Homo-oligomer: A and B are copies of this chain.
């Protein structure tokens, strides 16, 4: 097995030879990474290789891509594959395609190559390293052939880095053990989905449904199995595991994230924030290690606000943020939250819920690990990022009201077209937020209700989702957007309604906790990348009572989330476990 020490001591020629085959037919990658020695960690070596490719020009990158064989194509039989390629394609079962599958792959490959001018690259061993199914490979090819070319070029390079990562793991004889554990828990938990969605192979586990309760039961079992000293499901359905410190009275570190999902969700959003600490506790317990502080891991029951409009219910309950009126709220089937709680065997009493409020004096702080849910780390090829602040946000739903009229007979000059008013607003959002640093503004809902092809829209519904790194910046953005809405309607003779549906202040990270994450990431040999969180997280709720800081894990597929394509790799999850472990070590020795 290859050792880092060997590599660090190697000449350029030796170094390149030792890394032969990691980047297909492209020894120049290793050669350039040699300059970045010494490597303190395997992760650092991987990043150095990535950096060598990033620093190369477009032409060299294109050559690198073109050095790869066509998937399951002729290269496999003409012997131009590296041994690794052959073995990987074999492992993915591509040698055993049916004639129909082979024909389909061949046809898609041809379309792909014709469209982009390079072969389709996919790390066929997949995010777990154990291989994608043929169906997954076909679906990926089918999906990616529709990508914009610049996006697909970058994706091919990312896949090449993933192939290299797996080959390096083999050369070094290492496996991401904690990462695999987290990965496998995510897979297992995702088997619990509400029937209507499970039928379609989709994951949906909203608050207190059977699927959701099955999740809680699994998490509790895995916590017990991992060596937590106490495990309970609390009055709102949070799964709470405590791993005692050496002194039962010492303050605890609070951590966790949510296990409920949106509809047709990914498997990682929220869940890894409970599983990563659980994997660490499992390792501590197996090693017989006790920390000088307690570790309380909470898998929050509700964050997504899907079944009931009660976003952040789970974490909110820990800081006295449970709204009693929620109990009477009914889901689409008319079941009140109180009834749902009763059916789930929870006390369904307000007193039991308010008792969940934590005493801040008993806690050191709150940390949360979360998948980024955005493209930043994926684009930068970085596995981990340090969150500086959870952005302030505000949401509105609104409607512009004009006058419906006949599309053929109403002269352009006399129209009062509600959709054109909304179109102007959508483009203003884009310009205004784009000119404002890290702010984002989105019109996610847009609809001419009951529209017809031949009727000038009399009404157009829309939503606004505005976020900015500080509360003040968000307020300026909001003021400008609402002023534009008024001005567009004034100018066009339209009316409008607009209703605020959500508002959250910014939650900047506590500096000392942010520094601990930075130290942890740095210790892994990874560069520090700081970024705001555009999404809301449970940490936002805990922020009101405790110092908090978050760590982001890169999301594959451009960081897509709230979507079945949401993905991570066992290696990235393993790095997150290592970072979490390092943060615990820092606290233990401080």
Contacts and interface: CB of A to CB of B under 8 A. Distances in A.
Contact of A454 (B409, B426, B444, B559): B444
Interface string A169-187: 0000000000000000000
A382 interface: no
Contacts of A495: 146, 148
Interface stretch (A92-100, A415-423, A567-575): A415-423
Interface string A140-151: 000000101011
Nearest to A372: B409
Contacts of A463: 451, 453
Contact of A558 (B393, B403, B439, B453): B403
Contacts of A409: 372-376, 440, 533-535, 559, 561
A82 interface: no
Interface string A546-583: 00000000000011111100000000000000000000
A410 B559 CA distance: 9
A455 interface: yes
A587 interface: no
Interface residues of A, number: 76
Contacts of A493: 148, 150-151
Q: Chain B CB within 10 Å — which of A411, A413, A442, A534 has the most?
A: A442
Interface in A229-268: 262
Contacts of A151: 403, 493
Given A420-B427, A423-B423, A374 B404 contact: no
Contacts of A422: 423
Given A374-B410, A404-B560, A444 B457 contact: yes
A294 interface: no
A412 interface: yes
A336 interface: no
A502 to B, nearest CB: 8
Nearest to A379: B414
Contacts of A420: 426-427, 430, 443
A419 B407 contact: no
A408 B427 contact: no
B457 A446 contact: yes
A563 B534 CA distance: 44
A424 interface: yes
Contacts of A397: 453
Contacts of A559: 405-406, 409-410
B434 A444 contact: no
A467 B414 CA distance: 16
Interface string A387-398: 000010101010
Nearest to A458: B563
Interface of A: 146, 148, 150-151, 262, 372-376, 379, 391, 393, 395, 397, 401, 403-414, 416-417, 419-420, 422-424, 426-427, 430, 433-434, 438-448, 451-457, 460, 463, 465, 467, 493-495, 501, 533-536, 558-563
10 contacts: A151-B493, A391-B408, A406-B559, A408-B465, A409-B533, A412-B439, A417-B430, A420-B426, A420-B427, A444-B451
The 3 tightest CB contacts between A and B, nearest first, are A374-B409, A408-B534, A407-B442
